[in-house]
């Protein structure tokens, strides 16, 4: 409802007026921008609409309650003071059934309600501690298994039910299958080296049934302590000369709500419960006009398959974003630990299992970084590098992923994933060669400490970039390098040349994915630079996915089909946000990108989305234990003929 009162409030931004309005009678936006996350009040308004419509009760469980993406054109066209839509999208688990709802927050009414069949919502917070655990721990098979392993204190076992990643088990189709894992919590802070090995226990958390109990091997060995806290490491080696980061005049960026301005950049940021940090409406202000570059970018999925044959390990093929988003992927950031002293923080609201909102503090930090890097230099002229960083930390089980969006004065945006945390270790006694154990165990990993094998695995990170380079009408260019022979008599036999090709349809991109030294670009269909070239942005992954190590028919690989190609390009669609599909928990093979692109839709001269996957194939080192130093992989979004020359040339000499 576009009331004049709304406009008045938004225009004046007057806190007094807002305070006078009682939520429920006034349904205008209380946010500063159409992409701002739902407020506490909007969250409750959505719940009340669902309750009034008799759609939810005390047993309803919420897998999502978040901003429904507003119309994209309306967002680009919006300017402060104008009215805009507000709606919530909701995913609800009712018993075994799944429902999707949309609540119109302006009209305060239910816009849609529909059942989605054959899917499983992301794992709920309460399901990690499902009552089914009691049945497992009381089961005589479990008690015998613990006795065989010499576990003395059953009451000090910490067991959890995690979403199971199916490895070809059709008999469990349609069930809400969880896998039970336990570790001994006594004596140490870090229980990663105290996991109970050799059990494969599957349960149905909907029914409480124990579906499978396999005791594959009895492992009584134990690894050494693996604590890494300050009290355990003792005598920290302090530097004698401290370094301080100070910005006496405050940060060099401006924040208005969730909108950030820094140098030539302007963008909006928010935290989403499922994918974490979302960067939107990124534009470059050249002084005369604001040029759009990226409508929206965010992490889309993480896939971490382990490479050991024991069933429990073979089934560790996690789709971390789609399976574990309940409670929020973004971790609370510790000042001075996750982010530097000059950082500012953004809070978020996440939905709890019962639908109620919950505050989550400091899930995104924003800071400028200046630490001696060089932006450009030649002879005595040059500029020190100062960049703007927006950071989140995705906590996914034993791993922590620091995800940075770095904005540079030269027009580049770099998305970096820093993997750290605890590598997953398999407890296995170190046998000598004569016993025949060592070689078999070490084929699938490497010893990092006595009796502890860091199991081989990969990390795949898929990012979704809805680029709008000088507007939404874009094309995808593939510049292939090729050898061009030179005529007889020329002293050189041949040279390489670069040939540009436009992708007409989705499959054109997939056929070129791994070829040679490709340059992938998203180019404007209309805008050209001063030399007549289409303005474009290059997508440059530091470590492409390269997934040749898993057979194509492997169920785990097929559930994460997005890893088959480093880059995919699709027509823009708000229904296609997650590379392995919207419902990744217990998903069937082939969902997400492989299913969508099978239609081979046209992608030339239209609004397109680029999906880029980077990978880390992790052969574990001794130095990765007991806590792993950060290792970085990145994707650069790099201007390519977007400007007429180096746009960082006019930056001042003072960083």
Q: What residue has token string 């992608």?
A: 603
Provide the minimum distance between the beta carbon of 11 and Cu ion in the complex, in angstroms, as a whole number. Answer: 51
Least CB distance to Cu ion at residue 424 (A): 8
Closer residue to Cu ion in complex, CB, 582/618: 618
What is the rounded CA–CA span in Å between residue 590 and residue 555?
A: 9
Q: Is the Cβ of residue 199 or residue 455 nearer to Cu ion in the bound state?
A: 455
SS3 of residue 47 by DSSP? helix
Strands (E), 579-618: 608-618
d(CA 237, CA 269): 38
Task: Specify the pairing of strand 519-528 against strand 209-215.
Answer: unpaired
Region of 108-116, 148-156, 476-484, 613-621 interacting with Cu ion (CB under 5 A): 613-621
Q: What is the largest CA-CA distance in the chain?
A: 87
Q: Least distance (Å) from Cu ion to the CB of residue 552?
A: 23
* Residue 304 to residue 318: CA distance in whole angstroms: 5
Contact 158, 191 (CB under 8 A): yes
Tell me how far, at minimum, the Cβ of 399 lies from Cu ion, in Å.
7
- Cα–Cα distance measured from residue 540 to residue 352, given in angstroms and rounded to the nearest whole number: 37
Q: Which stretch binds Cu ion (CB under 5 A): 9-17, 29-37, 483-491, 616-624?
A: 616-624
The token duo for 590 is 């082939």
Q: How far is the CB of 621 from Cu ion (least distance, A)?
A: 10
Spatial separation of the C-alpha atoms in residues 112 and 400, rounded to whole Å: 37
Mark residues 567-606: x for contact with Cu ion by CB under 5 A, - for none: ----------------------------------------
Q: Which is nearer to Cu ion, 424 or 523 (CB)?
A: 424
Across-strand partners of 407?
388, 413
Using rule CB under 5 A, residue 426 touches Cu ion: no
Nearest approach, Cβ of 620 to Cu ion (angstroms)? Answer: 7
What is the 3-state composition of the chain as percent helix, strand, coil, each rounded to the nearest 5?
Answer: 15, 40, 45
Q: Which is nearer to Cu ion, 484 or 630 (CB)?
A: 630
Q: With b meaning 16 or more CB within 10 Å and e meaning fewer, what string describes 524-540?
A: bbebebeeeebbbbbbb
Q: Residues in contact with Cu ion, total (CB under 5 A)? A: 1
Mark the segment that binds Cu ion (CB under 5 A) among 111-119, 279-287, 444-452, 610-618: 610-618
Q: In whole angstroms, how close is the CB of 618 to Cu ion at the nearest point?
A: 3
Task: Single out the segment in contact with Cu ion by CB under 5 A; choices: 521-529, 573-581, 606-614, 617-625.
Answer: 617-625
Q: Pick between residue 64 and residue 618 the one whose CB is nearest to Cu ion.
A: 618
Stretch touching Cu ion by CB under 5 A, among 96-104, 212-220, 614-622, 632-640: 614-622
> 362 or 618, CB closer to Cu ion?
618
User: Looking at beta carbons only, is 386 or 618 nearer to Cu ion?
Assistant: 618
Whole-number Cα distances in Å, 308 to 198, 202, 359, 514: 12, 18, 39, 27
Identify the bridge partners of residue 463 per DSSP, sorted by sequence position. Answer: 299, 612
| Alpha-carbon dihedral 592, 598, 602, 605, rounded to 10 degrees | 30
Least Cβ distance, residue 419 to Cu ion (angstroms): 6
Which stretch in 290-298, 431-439, 563-571, 618-626 sits in contact with Cu ion by CB under 5 A?
618-626
Q: Between residues 396 and 608, which has the closer beta carbon with respect to Cu ion?
A: 396
Q: What minimum distance in Å lies between the beta carbon of 328 and Cu ion?
A: 22
User: How long, in residues, is the chain?
Assistant: 655
| 618: contact with Cu ion by CB under 5 A | yes
The tokens for 74 are 């309306």
Token output for 61:
């469980």
Binding string to Cu ion for residues 524 to 563, with x set by CB under 5 A, is what?
----------------------------------------
Looking at the Cβ atoms of 100 and 624, the one nearer to Cu ion is 624
CB of 202 to Cu ion, least distance (A): 25
Q: How far is CA 363 from CA 180, 348, 355, 506, in A?
A: 29, 7, 20, 35
- Sign of the dihedral defined by the CA atoms of residues 539, 540, 545, 546, in that order: positive
Select 318 or 618, whichever has its Cβ closest to Cu ion. Answer: 618
Single out the segment in contact with Cu ion by CB under 5 A; choices: 529-537, 554-562, 564-572, 615-623: 615-623
* 462 in Cβ contact with 615 (< 8 Å): no
194 sits near Cu ion (criterion: CB under 5 A) = no
- Going by the DSSP 8-state scheme, the letter that residue 48 receives in this structure is H
Binding segment for Cu ion among 112-120, 305-313, 527-535, 611-619 (CB under 5 A)? 611-619
What is the three-state SS of 113-153?
A: EEEECCCCCCCCHHHHHCCHHHHHHHCHHHHHHHHHCCCCC
Shortest Å distance, C-beta 452 to Cu ion: 15
Q: Which is nearer to Cu ion, 39 or 315 (CB)?
A: 315
- Pick the closer one to Cu ion by CB: 196 or 417: 417
Question: Minimum Å distance from CB 275 to Cu ion?
Answer: 20
Up-side HSE of residue 572: CA atoms within 13 Å toward CB?
Answer: 21
The least CB distance from residue 454 to Cu ion, in Å, is 8
DSSP 8-state secondary structure symbol assigned to residue 22: P
Residue 454 neighbours by CB under 8 Å, 6+ apart: 423, 424, 425, 445, 446, 447, 448, 620, 621, 624, 625
Residue nearest to Cu ion (CB): 618
Residues contributing to the site for Cu ion (CB under 5 A): 618
């Amino acid at each position: 409802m576009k009331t004049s009162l709304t406009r008045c409030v938004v225009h004046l931004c007057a806190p007094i007026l807002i305070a006078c309005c009682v939520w429920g009678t006034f349904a205008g936006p209380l946010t500063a921008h159409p992409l701002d996350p739902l407020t506490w009040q909007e969250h409750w308004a959505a719940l009340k609409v669902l309750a009034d419509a008799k759609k939810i009760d005390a047993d309803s469980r919420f897998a999502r309650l978040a901003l429904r993406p507003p119309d994209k054109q309306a967002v680009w066209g919006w300017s402060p003071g104008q009215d805009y839509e507000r709606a919530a999208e909701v995913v609800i688990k009712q018993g075994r059934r799944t429902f999707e709802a949309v609540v119109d927050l302006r009209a305060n009414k239910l816009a849609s309600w529909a059942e989605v069949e054959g899917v499983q919502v992301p794992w709920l917070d309460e399901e990690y501690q499902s009552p089914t655990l009691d049945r497992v721990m009381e089961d005589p098979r479990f008690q015998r298994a613990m006795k065989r392993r010499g576990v003395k204190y059953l009451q000090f076992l910490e067991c959890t039910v995690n979403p199971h990643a199916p490895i070809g088990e059709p008999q469990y189709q349609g069930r809400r299958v969880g896998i039970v894992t336990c570790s001994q919590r006594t004596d140490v802070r870090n229980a990663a080296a105290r996991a109970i090995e050799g059990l494969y226990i599957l349960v149905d958390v909907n029914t409480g049934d124990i579906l499978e109990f396999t005791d594959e091997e009895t492992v009584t060995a134990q690894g050494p302590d693996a604590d890494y806290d300050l009290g355990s490491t003792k005598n920290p080696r302090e530097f004698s000369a401290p370094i301080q980061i100070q910005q006496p005049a405050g940060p060099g960026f401006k924040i208005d709500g969730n909108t950030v301005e820094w140098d030539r950049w302007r963008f909006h940021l928010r935290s989403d419960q499922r994918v974490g940090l979302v960067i939107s409406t990124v534009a470059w202000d050249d002084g005369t006009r604001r040029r759009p570059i990226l409508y929206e970018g965010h992490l889309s999925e993480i896939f971490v398959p382990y490479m050991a044959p024991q069933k429990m390990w073979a089934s560790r093929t996690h789709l971390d974003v789609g399976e574990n988003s309940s409670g929020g992927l973004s971790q609370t950031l510790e000042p001075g630990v996750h982010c530097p002293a000059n950082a500012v923080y953004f809070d978020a609201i996440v939905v709890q299992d019962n639908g109620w909102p919950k505050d989550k503090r400091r899930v995104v930090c924003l800071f400028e970084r200046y630490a001696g890097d060089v932006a450009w230099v030649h002879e005595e002229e040059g500029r020190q590098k100062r960049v703007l960083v927006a950071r989140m930390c995705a906590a996914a089980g034993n791993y922590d992923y620091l995800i940075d969006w770095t904005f540079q004065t030269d027009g580049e945006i770099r998305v970096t994933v820093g993997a750290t945390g605890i590598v997953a270790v398999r407890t296995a006694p170190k046998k000598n060669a004569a016993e025949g154990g060592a070689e078999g165990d070490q084929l699938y990993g490497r010893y990092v400490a006595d009796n502890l094998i860091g199991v081989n695995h990969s990390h795949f990170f898929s990012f979704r970039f809805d680029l709008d380079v000088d507007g939404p009408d874009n094309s995808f260019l593939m510049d292939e390098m090729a050898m061009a022979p030179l005529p007889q008599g020329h002293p050189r036999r041949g040279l390489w040349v670069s040939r540009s090709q436009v992708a007409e349809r989705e499959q054109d991109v997939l056929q070129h994915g791994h070829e040679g030294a490709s340059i992938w670009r998203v180019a404007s269909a209309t805008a050209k630079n001063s030399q007549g070239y289409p303005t474009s942005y290059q997508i440059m992954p530091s470590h492409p996915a390269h997934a040749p190590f898993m057979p194509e028919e492997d169920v785990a690989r097929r559930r994460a089909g997005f890893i088959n190609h480093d880059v995919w390009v699709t027509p823009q669609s708000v229904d296609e946000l997650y590379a392995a599909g919207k419902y990744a928990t217990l998903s069937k093979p082939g969902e997400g990108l492989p299913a969508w692109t099978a239609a081979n839709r046209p992608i030339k001269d239209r609004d397109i989305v680029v999906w880029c996957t980077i990978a880390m194939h992790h052969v574990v080192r001794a130095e990765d234990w007991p806590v792993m130093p950060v290792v970085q992989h990145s994707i650069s979004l790099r201007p390519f003929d977007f400007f007429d020359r180096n746009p960082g040339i006019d930056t001042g000499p003072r960083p």
